[in-house]
Structure 1
């Protein structure tokens, strides 16, 4: 199957959080295939993935180990990526942790850690990347949210709260930095069947029930999210900002 290509992304420097595994790895590969230069952070070792991308695309991403709860380290990695590939003109805030939990069992420390992973980095990566984007004449930021907030899902309340907050953050930052030519949108994926989802939560009954909720009777795969991310990063969406693009097969309705 052939997919859309976005030629204006060729040569752009894209910085991705969590770009070495799961959906993030697919996004990294999507940008590499488009000819972009990609730097990314990942908590686990992604060296073998980078070698694989070099062999497959002739375009090796620059990987830096980082726990995104450490904001100073995260900023340092962004600076390192800029030294390697030039100014960051596309930022993808992808990294997240959707480990299940219950309200009555959750401590203050648990809550703070959850938001340090699922919300706080979106603010501080934007803060750090804006000056370079201004100098470059603009840029695009894609903040990953989740359809779980629109569905009102139980089972991970702190995560759902963070993913809802990302939409507010996206809209206020889009207003603040729009005059600088910086577009900021939220991408809202549905249930994408990554290896992690299949191993931990995708039961036969759960999959069947979720598919019943979708208008399109086919499960989402990472490529569905890659295409939407590239669209939001490219000039194909040049007058689109402060928006939430839902890719979930038709479960959550906006408007």
Structure 2
């Protein structure tokens, strides 16, 4: 099913596949976009900020330019238009990766109702909407794979990010429900729950030396996660290498939690 290529696993069935990634131009999302491009997939992604420079770099490096569709995943009409354009350019979306997220810290006693709604819209509602949009095309194509990004933060009961942890618990529940709902249509739905991945945002905002040292003591493996560490698990769940895996939540965290509860 796989073969070694450029230091990693190759998944031949992903070549030419129409892939859509939310938040695919920065952080973990950028690593996922590059990983699918390297497999020869036709990748479209949405991102709020202008990441044309990233797309230029990907085209130069891989000879395969991703389709960048600038939109906010909380803007439903814009999201529907972006996914329609992706399907028009690349064919029906048969791999959907819900990666966009906002883990802004907040105190429960201080967060406003509007702020709560905004965080849930990014972290949970957008995952439901993209699935609702993509599934009909997957049904027509005879199947597909959805990979949702959850987080071990809700398994650990982390404080000061209740909207984010609540959404990620919901993502895991939604993943299991959708796996059951769409399984007979040949659509697999799984989740990945990363640990603390040291993206540029994490390093800028929260990764003090003390926090890094403390978190590393919680891991079995002795180094911090990088965005590229999520690429292999996502490629596996998107490909036919995981043909009989659905409804699962895979913790990719260096061994912090021992079950994807």
In structure 1, the residue corresponding to 2:44 is in which secondary structure? strand
Q: Which residue of 1 aligns with 2:241?
A: 236
Within the candidate set 144, 156, 164, 2:161 is matched to: 156
Whether 2:204 is the aligned partner of 1:199: answer: yes
* 2:172 is equivalent to residue 190 of structure 1: no
2:109, 2:180 → 1: CA distance? 37
3-state DSSP of counterpart to 2:154: helix
Q: What is aligned with 1:38?
A: 43
CA distance in 1: counterparts of 2:53 and 2:176, whole angstroms = 37
Unaligned runs of 5+ in 2: 1-5
Of residues 135, 144, 151 in structure 2, which corresponds to 1:146?
Answer: 151
Q: Which digits, 9 at most, give the CA deviation of each residue in 1:4-23, with x for residues without a partner?
A: 11111000010000001111
Unmatched 5+ residue regions in structure 1? none
Residue 224 of structure 1 and its aligned partner are, at CA, apart by 0.9
Report the counterpart of residue 16 of structure 1 in structure 2: 21
SS state at 2:221 partner: coil
TM-score using structure 1 length: 0.98
Q: 2:242 & 2:88 partners in 1: Cα distance?
A: 28
> How many angstroms apart in 1 are the aligned matches of 2:199 and 2:56?
21
- 1:251 matched to 2:253: no
What does the per-residue CA deviation read over 1:58-94, in whole Å, with 9 as the maximum and x for residues that have no partner? Answer: 0000001101111121011000001111110100000
How many pairs does the alignment contain? Answer: 255
Distance apart, 1:144 and its partner CA: 0.3
Aligned positions of 1:31-180 closer than 5 A: 31-180=36-185
> CA separation in 2, counterparts of 1:50 and 1:213?
36
Question: In angstroms, what is the RMSD of aligned CA positions?
Answer: 0.9
TM-score relative to the length of structure 2: 0.96
In 2, Cα distance between equivalents of 1:92 and 1:236: 17
Q: Distance in 2 between matches of 1:20 and 1:213?
A: 30
Structure 1 stretches of at least 4 aligned residues deviating more than 4 Å after TM superposition: none
Q: Secondary structure at the match of 2:54?
A: helix
Distance in 2 between residues matched to 1:123 and 1:3, nearest whole Å: 31
1:234 deviates by 0.5
Deviations 1:95-122 (A, max 9, x none): 0011111101011101100000000011
1:7 correspondence with 2:12: yes
Three-state SS of the structure 2 residue aligned to 1:80 is helix
CA shift, 1:235, in A, is: 0.5
1:226 to 220, 228, 231: 231
CA deviations on 1:21-73 (whole Å, 9 max, x unpaired) are 11101100000000000001000001111111111000000001101111121
